[in-house]
Amino acid sequence: MMAARASSALVSVDFEIFGKVQGVFFRRDTKRTADLYGLVGWVRNTKRSTVEGHAQGPNDKIKQMKTWLQTKGSRRSHIEKADFKNQKTIEKLDYTEFKIIR
C-alpha cells in the first residue's frame, strides 16, 4: 500500500536542460510529453541557451518526464546535461496546464 501511495504522491521539480536545446522544437516537445503524462507547469528558453521549466504531477509521471528530459528531448536536440532541483512533495497542483512561456 505504501508503494502505491508513493507513486501517486504529487511532486514538483525545477529543471534546466543544457546542450543543443534551442531552435530544435525542444519546448514544443516538452509540452507534448508533459501533456501526455498529465503534468502541469511551464517551460521556456533562457538567455544562457538552455531550456528551463517547472513540472508538477504524480511522482511516477515526474520520474518518466525526468528520464525523457535527460535522454530523449526533441528529435533534433542534443542533451549534454539535465539539472533537477527543488524536488518536493506537494499537497496540490499550482497550475492547470503545461505552458510554453515565450
Which string of b and e fits 17-44 if b means at least 16 CB within 10 Å? Answer: bebebbebebbebbbebbeebebbbbbe
| Cβ-based neighbour number of residue 50 at 10 Å | 20
d(CA 14, CA 54): 4
Would you kindly state where each structural domain of the chain is located, as residue ranges? Answer: 14-100
What is the pLDDT confidence band of residue 1, given thresholds at 50, 70 and 90? very low
Q: Which residues does the annotation mark as catalytic? A: 27, 45
pTM of the model: 0.92
Determine the pLDDT at residue 4: 52
pLDDT mean over 43-60: 98
pLDDT mean over 68-73: 97
Cell, residue 10: 504529487
pLDDT mean over 29-45: 98
The structural architecture, per CATH, of the domain 14-100 is 2-Layer Sandwich (3.30)
What is the pLDDT confidence band of residue 8, given thresholds at 50, 70 and 90? confident
Which residues partner with 54 through β-bridges?
14, 42
What is the pLDDT confidence band of residue 6, given thresholds at 50, 70 and 90? low
Residue 90 has pLDDT above 90, yes or no: yes
Residue 92 has pLDDT above 50, yes or no: yes
